[in-house]
Amino acid sequence: MSAAPSPQKPGRDCALCPRLVEFRETHRALQPDWHNAPVPAFGALESRFLIVGMAPGLKGANLTGRPFTGDYAGDLLYATLGKFGWAKGSYAARPDDGVSLHDCRVTNAVRCVPPQNKPTASEVNACRQFLADEIAAMKCLEVILALGGLAHGAVVATLGHRKSAWKFGHNRRHDLPDGLVLFNSYHCSRYNTNTGRLTTAMFEDVFRAIDSHLSR
């Protein structure tokens, strides 16, 4: 079997979103040693499981260059992936920590860090082409997990479905017409965990449901 074609990626100096470009250039000047560029996906294209987050965190993936690496959201995500066997190695919030993903790939709906961690609708739409290519290149893909309502909406729109027909809800499962299964979870952000909106047990319940589906 031939290898899947590599998906289209935004260049380091992607100019699609002027607000994000300005924010990126500001932080390149302030922190020249940080990644400060579109953050590529992590994990093999041959995976059956794709996790889609919202956007890189300023002091997380925007610093390190690996999705969900360097901030609290990554602490919970990689610990959970490890518990269910989708990650190996000891996560240390660095891209060189030796963590590897197994049958799992992680990306974001928006590849560049946004101000106040809030991408606009036009920025999500501009980045959709890259998510579409990501999904199309994953020939073994069976399950997508959207972390948060924004990621859920981006996935649904990317797949060509109406968001009103597939509403976001924590631990909700959507059996899509194209055969993919979309799961939802509240985002594993520090805010959501500090406020109790998302607990570790709630997050693990979602992964348990996905594990059960893929193990069927």
Task: Go through 93-123 and write b for each residue having 16 or more CB atoms within 10 A of its CB, e for each that does not.
Answer: bebeeebebeebbbbbbbbbbbeeeebeeeb
Asked whether residue 68 is domain-assigned, the answer is yes
Average pLDDT value for residue range 82-93: 97
Q: What is the pLDDT of residue 18?
A: 98
Asked whether residue 12 is domain-assigned, the answer is no
Asked whether residue 10 is domain-assigned, the answer is no
Q: Name the amino acid, one letter, at 143.
A: V
pLDDT band at 98 (very low <50, low <70, confident <90, very high): very high
The total domain count for the chain is 1
Q: What is the pLDDT of residue 3?
A: 56
pLDDT higher than 70, residue 1: no
pLDDT higher than 60, residue 203: yes
Residue 190: which CATH number?
A: 3.40.470.10
pLDDT band at 4 (very low <50, low <70, confident <90, very high): low
Please state the pTM of the whole predicted model.
Answer: 0.96
Q: What is the pLDDT of residue 6?
A: 79
Range of the domain at 190: 18-214
Asked whether residue 177 is domain-assigned, the answer is yes
